């Protein structure tokens, strides 16, 4: 079911984005204040809804958003996208970078022509002293996954595994570390490699694999893990797109009732999974709200009402079946009154002492 190729997925994603932005951009603005480039690194719905939130804010503030897709998460495509955006004379760059090594080149290219950059995720303290870096917006990585680990620690005994997102940007590694802290593991939690003893010996962390943030890769990773550990008791999946794939693999292996699954993000299909019972808990954030806030912060920077070089933490809510109504929706951009509500919210405040 999930073994479609990435080329097909890229084509479908491109068509969907064209249709979606065509709909949200009507009626057209009489005159734009300029174009904001949006780096769309991957086909995940999280990134697409982040784009839609950014587009809603841009239209409200008088800007135009131009999408630069990178469906296969390629560093070379990102740099080409950045160069094309700069050649087109964009006012600013936002969206999602592939990884820290790619950010070096992307930020440097924008700095040479004095174009400001505000990225969602991929924070590193070394970028805050760059003259063109407005900042970063992301969840507080380890703190975000910590309550998910605490939940599993109190609900599972036995062997557990982790399916991470794309490694190399820092967020997947941070989520794993926070989860292991909440799980009460002993060992090098920053490195995050199994095996580890956790929860005073009640839990054994035995396996980790990457699912690259994608549903088909989550399916494959879960197949591999459950094949090696048929007595697996729990799994933490770092986003809910991968969790859907992992759940499908567990169903195929007749293990769905045996393995307790927790995740994060609060995607529509994740909340549906919590309601159905196959997903037990999730720490949620809204990519649409992150995208909306990113453009509002870019606008404030361009209007000289905030300074650059800052880190901002996203709004989050940990939910279970009993509290899932507290999650901020991913698709509020479809509702003009909700867009207006979030446009009136106070701007995010920068983190006072951003981590080094």
What is the pLDDT averaged over residues 97-114?
Answer: 93
| Main-chain phi, psi angles of 194, to 5 degrees | -75, 160
**3-class secondary structure for 93-111?**
EEECCCCHHHHHHHHHHHH
* Residue 21 binned pLDDT confidence (cut-offs 50, 70, 90): low
Say whether pLDDT at 66 is over 60.
yes
Residue 234: phi, psi to the nearest 5?
-160, 155
d(CA 347, CA 356): 24
SS3 25: coil
- Looking at the predicted structure, is the pLDDT value of residue 108 above 60? yes
Sequential DSSP letters for 99-150: -HHHHHHHHHHHHHTT--EEEES---GGGTTSTTEEEEEE--HHHHHHHHHH
Would you tell me how many other CB atoms lie within 10 Å of the CB of residue 32?
A: 15
Q: 49: closest CA among 314, 348, 345, 334?
A: 334
Beta-strand pair 196-198/281-284: unpaired
Kindly state the average pLDDT of the residues 236-249: 97
Backbone angles phi, psi at 179, to 5 degrees: -60, -45
Q: Please name which of 197, 209, 218 lies closest in space to residue 153, comparing C-alpha atoms.
A: 197
Please give the share of the chain, as a percent, with pLDDT higher than 90. 84
pTM: 0.81
Identical fold between 6-139+286-315+329-343 and 141-284: yes
Count the Cβ atoms, other than its own, within 10 Å of residue 31: 7
Question: Is 143 exposed, middle or buried, given 0-12, 13-18 or 19+ CB atoms closer than 10 A?
Answer: middle
Residue bearing the bigger pLDDT, 22 or 116:
116
- Segment 2-28 mean pLDDT: 40
Give the list of residues 6+ apart from residue 73 with CB closer than 8 angstroms, or none.
41, 42, 98, 166, 212
Lowest-pLDDT choice from 10-14, 20-24, 164-168, 224-228: 10-14
Q: For the CA atoms of the chain, what is the radius of gyration? A: 20
Confidence of residue 97 (pLDDT cuts 50, 70, 90): very high
What fold characterizes domain 141-284?
A: Rossmann fold (3.40.50)
* Integer angstrom CA distances of residue 348 from 237, 295, 313, 328: 28, 12, 8, 16
What are the extents of the domains in the chain?
Answer: 6-139+286-315+329-343, 141-284
The CA distance from 110 to 146, in Å, is: 35
**Homologous superfamily of the 6-139+286-315+329-343 domain (CATH):** Response regulator (3.40.50.2300)
């Amino acid at each position: 079911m999930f073994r479609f190729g990435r080329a097909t997925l890229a084509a479908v994603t491109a068509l969907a984005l064209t249709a979606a932005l065509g709909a949200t951009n009507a009626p057209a603005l009489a005159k734009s204040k300029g174009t904001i480039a949006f780096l769309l690194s991957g086909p995940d719905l999280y990134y697409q809804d982040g784009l839609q939130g950014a587009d809603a804010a841009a239209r409200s503030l008088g800007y135009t958003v131009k999408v630069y897709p990178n469906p296969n998460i390629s560093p070379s495509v990102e740099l080409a996208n950045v160069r094309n955006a700069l050649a087109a004379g964009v006012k600013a760059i936002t969206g999602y970078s592939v990884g820290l090594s790619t950010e070096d080149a992307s930020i440097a290219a924008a700095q040479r022509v004095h174009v400001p950059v505000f990225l969602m995720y991929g924070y590193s303290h070394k970028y805050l002293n760059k003259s063109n870096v407005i900042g970063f917006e992301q969840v507080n990585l380890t703190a975000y996954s910590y309550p998910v680990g605490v939940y599993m620690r109190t609900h599972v005994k036995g062997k557990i595994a982790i399916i991470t997102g794309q490694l190399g940007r820092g967020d997947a590694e941070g989520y794993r570390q926070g989860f292991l802290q909440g799980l009460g593991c002993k060992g090098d939690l920053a490195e995050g490699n199994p095996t580890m003893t956790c929860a005073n010996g009640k839990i054994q962390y035995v396996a980790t694999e990457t699912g690259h943030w994608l549903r088909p890769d989550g399916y494959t990773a879960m197949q591999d893990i459950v094949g090696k550990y048929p007595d697996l008791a729990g799994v933490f999946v770092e986003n809910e797109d991968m969790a859907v794939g992992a759940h499908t693999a567990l169903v195929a292996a007749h293990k769905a009732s045996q393995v307790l699954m927790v995740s994060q993000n609060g995607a529509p299909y994740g909340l549906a999974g919590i309601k159905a019972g196959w997903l037990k808990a999730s720490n949620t954030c809204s990519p649409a709200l992150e995208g909306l806030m990113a453009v509002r912060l870019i606008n404030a920077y361009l209007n000289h009402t905030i300074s650059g070089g800052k880190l901002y933490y996203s709004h989050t809510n940990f939910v279970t079946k009993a509290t899932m109504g507290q999650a901020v929706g991913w698709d509020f951009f479809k509702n003009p009154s909700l867009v207006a509500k979030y446009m009136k919210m106070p701007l995010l405040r920068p983190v006072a002492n951003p981590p080094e």
